[in-house]
């Protein structure tokens, strides 16, 4: 559990029955979509995104696009074009 999550719980800011936040990060090269999470708040998710971007850049990923989503856990956390079944 992150520091932000603990702080939110102490302050009573966490709402039960609320969908978690997920970062959806897509890259053009390689053509992949990555899901990172779950996070209890958008603040916690946004604070974590820098590390994920740095990791992808270290792997020479190009065309990085980030979206914050509030949803159930995706069925797959990594989806790459080369793995798709047609």
Q: What is the pLDDT of residues 23-56, one digit of tens each?
A: 999 999 999 999 999 999 999 999 999 999 999 9
What Rg value do the Cα atoms of the chain yield, rounded? Answer: 14
Per DSSP, 62 falls in state B
Strand-pairing partners, residue 32, are 27, 80
What's the pLDDT at 77?
96
Lowest mean pLDDT among 7-16, 20-29, 40-49, 75-84: 7-16
pTM, two decimals, is: 0.74
Instruction: Report d(CA 76, CA 44) in Å as an integer.
Output: 21
Instruction: Report d(CA 6, CA 70) in Å as an integer.
Output: 20
Strand-pairing partners, residue 36, are 23
Average pLDDT of the residues of the chain: 87
What's the pLDDT at 82?
73
């Amino acid at each position: 559990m992150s520091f932000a999550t603990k702080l939110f719980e102490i302050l009573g800011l966490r709402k039960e029955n609320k969908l978690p936040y997920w970062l959806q990060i897509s890259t053009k090269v390689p053509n992949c979509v990555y899901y990172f999470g779950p996070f209890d708040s958008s603040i916690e998710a946004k604070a974590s995104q820098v590390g994920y971007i740095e990791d992808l850049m270290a792997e020479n990923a190009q065309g990085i696009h980030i979206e914050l989503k509030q949803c159930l856990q995706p069925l797959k956390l990594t989806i790459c074009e080369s793995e798709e079944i047609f």
